[in-house]
Amino acid sequence: MEPSRIWNTAKVENFLHKYDGRFEYVRLHWVDYSGVLRTRFISVGQCIQMAQGTEKYHLAQNSLITPISTAPKEFSPSDHHETWELLPDWPTLRPCGSKGNHATVMCYIDDKGRSFQKCPRTLLEGVIDKIACTYEAVFLLKFRIEFMLLDGSAEVHKPMDRLNGYSRTAGLRTDILEIMDEIHQALRTSNIRIDEFHIGLADQVELSLAPQAPLEAIDSLVLAQETIRTVCTRHNIRATMAPKPLLNGPFNGLYLHLSAENSRSNQPANLLAGILGSMGSLCAFGMANFDSYVRAVNGCAGEWIGFGTGNRDLPVRQVSIEHWEFRMLDSTANPYLFAYALLMAGQYGVVNGMQLEWKDCSSFPSLLDICQRADYGLTSRMPSSLQEALDHLREDSVMQFILPHSFLEWYISLKKKEVEEFAKMTDEQRRLRFLEYF
């Protein structure tokens, strides 16, 4: 990470001066390995001291790697005596749209000043410039968020005009549109732009954020998700992004758009080949929850590994030759880790000149017979469970080669524990548990 992005007293003081004493607290944000946003609230005075380097915040390991399945029990795969420190990325300092007297800043996690190969933001930052240089392009990310609105009893929120179908106006005639307006204003205060929103399936809202550079796009995503939840809670409505908020659907996804801008590359097929070649492993990062795989089984995230222009029945929808939508993602993932693994796989494909074994499929895979699917390279199914995805990750020689061993050890160990614990619960017990977090 660049030192200028961490200790920048002038950045902090100029920001506070710009808003003329408006802020009382600054929120230090980071996302743990279970995809849960964590926060410490500090005073403005302490914020300035952190920028000067005279105040530090140390973390216990349960603030990064304790799985949601065992919280608040302590769980540590290894290295349980390490001391970690929060390092704010000061250029991300911005007003908190959902709380007028708060500001927010995203944080790195540092291991006593050494290069920490377990911090999600650090890992992602390390690959961004590398792949941009290798591929000879500037990459942008944007996200499409799906969420459902539930009432206090964890059932569907039912206004007079229900959210009753894709892009229908009816669901936005009552309090839902007012809430969306409030969300929009809060996000605009935090300098986060919405490109569009609409009704998805029954009782579901879809919201698309504007494209940004990768690290900034994920920071905006994390804050947007928190803003949506906060605003809805004030209206006694639960906005949930859990993949399986109701036992009988609909199911929530999170869709990542990756585009290469000002590209001088002739290697989009190599990049895509690297990603598709490790698709099973990438699912362990993108669909990182026990109940995530309902979206692969029913086709929302694609049942077969492959890609197709405009095809939403495959895990990769090609928008154009250098613009892809990745559908094997939901809001239980740590988005920094998913983007990191995705870009590392793509980088490997470009560097090694991997050949694209798949053909652009415009058909519904479910309507093709085995020979027709084989013609498109659709010979392998997506993982049907988190355990299966973790097995892919353990056995994937490419991912084992390109990702840090210590990081993989921790991540697989944590997710293995989640699989074990959540397998003991009923579907309804898990649903209610995940509603608490996502």
Specify if 7 maps to a domain.
yes
Mean pLDDT to the nearest integer, 85-111: 88
Residues 311 and 353 in one domain: yes
Residues 60 and 169 in one domain: no
Examine the pLDDT at 163 and tell me if it is beyond 60.
no
Highest mean pLDDT: which of 17-21, 24-28, 357-361? 357-361
Q: What is the mean pLDDT of the chain?
A: 87
- Domain finish residue from 54, 86, 116: 116
Residues 80 and 148 in one domain: no
Give me the CATH number covering residue 147.
3.30.590.10
Tell me the sheet residues that pair with 114.
Answer: 111
Residues 345 and 376 in one domain: yes
> What is the pLDDT at residue 81?
54
Residues 273 and 157 in one domain: yes
Highest mean pLDDT: which of 76-90, 105-119, 335-349? 335-349
Specify if 121 maps to a domain.
no
Residues 110 and 157 in one domain: no
> What is the pLDDT at residue 19?
81
Tally the domains of the chain.
2
Specify if 122 maps to a domain.
no
> What is the pLDDT at residue 22?
84
Mean pLDDT to the nearest integer, 292-319: 89
Mean pLDDT to the nearest integer, 384-405: 95
3-state SS string for the chain: CCHHHCCCHHHHHHHHHHCCCCCCEEEEEEECCCCCEEEEEEEHHHHHHHHHCCCCEEECHHHCCCCCCCCCCCCCCCCCCCCEEEEECHHHCEECCCCCCEEEEEEEEEECCECCCCCHHHHHHHHHHHHHHHHCCEEEEEEEEEEEEECCCCCECCCCCCCCCCCCCHHHCCHHHHHHHHHHHHHHHCCCCEEEEEECCCCEEEEEECCECHHHHHHHHHHHHHHHHHHHHHCCCEEECCCCCCCCCCCCCEEEEEEEECCCCCCHHHHHHHHHHCHHHHHHHHCCCCCCCHHHHCCCCCCECCEEECCCCCCEEEEECCEEEECCCCCCCCHHHHHHHHHHHHHHHHHCCCCCCCCCCCCCHHHCCHHHHHHCCCCCECCCCHHHHHHHHHHCHHHHHHCCHHHHHHHHHHHHHHHHHHCCCCHHHHHHHHHHHC
Residues 163 and 97 in one domain: no
Which of 50-59, 60-69, 265-274, 296-305 is least confident?
60-69
- Domain finish residue from 116, 136, 171: 116
pLDDT-derived band at 269, boundaries 50, 70, 90: very high
> What is the pLDDT at residue 3?
43
pLDDT digits (tens, 9 = 90+) for 308-342: 999 999 999 999 999 999 999 999 999 999 999 99
Residues 358 and 209 in one domain: yes
pLDDT-derived band at 66, boundaries 50, 70, 90: confident
pLDDT digits (tens, 9 = 90+) for 123-151: 999 899 899 888 888 999 999 999 998 88
Residues 234 and 331 in one domain: yes
> What is the pLDDT at residue 328?
95
Specify if 199 maps to a domain.
yes
Specify if 185 maps to a domain.
yes
Mean pLDDT to the nearest integer, 110-126: 78
Q: What percent of the chain has pLDDT over 90?
A: 55
pLDDT-derived band at 44, boundaries 50, 70, 90: confident
CA–CA distance, 23 with 4 (Å, rounded to integer)? 24
Specify if 67 maps to a domain.
yes
Q: Are 113 and 105 in contact (CB under 8 A)?
A: no
Residues 133 and 28 in one domain: no
- pTM score, two decimals? 0.92
- Domain finish residue from 69, 87, 116: 116
Give me the CATH number covering residue 106.
3.10.20.70
Specify if 412 maps to a domain.
yes
pLDDT digits (tens, 9 = 90+) for 198-218: 877 767 889 999 999 999 999
CA–CA distance, 334 with 329 (Å, rounded to integer)? 10
Mean pLDDT to the nearest integer, 241-268: 89
Give residue 92's domain range.
3-116
Q: What percent of the chain has pLDDT over 70?
A: 88
Residues 84 and 153 in one domain: no
Specify if 334 maps to a domain.
yes
Q: Are 332 and 243 in contact (CB under 8 A)?
A: yes
Residues 112 and 131 in one domain: no
Mean pLDDT to the nearest integer, 214-241: 93
Examine the pLDDT at 160 and tell me if it is beyond 50.
no
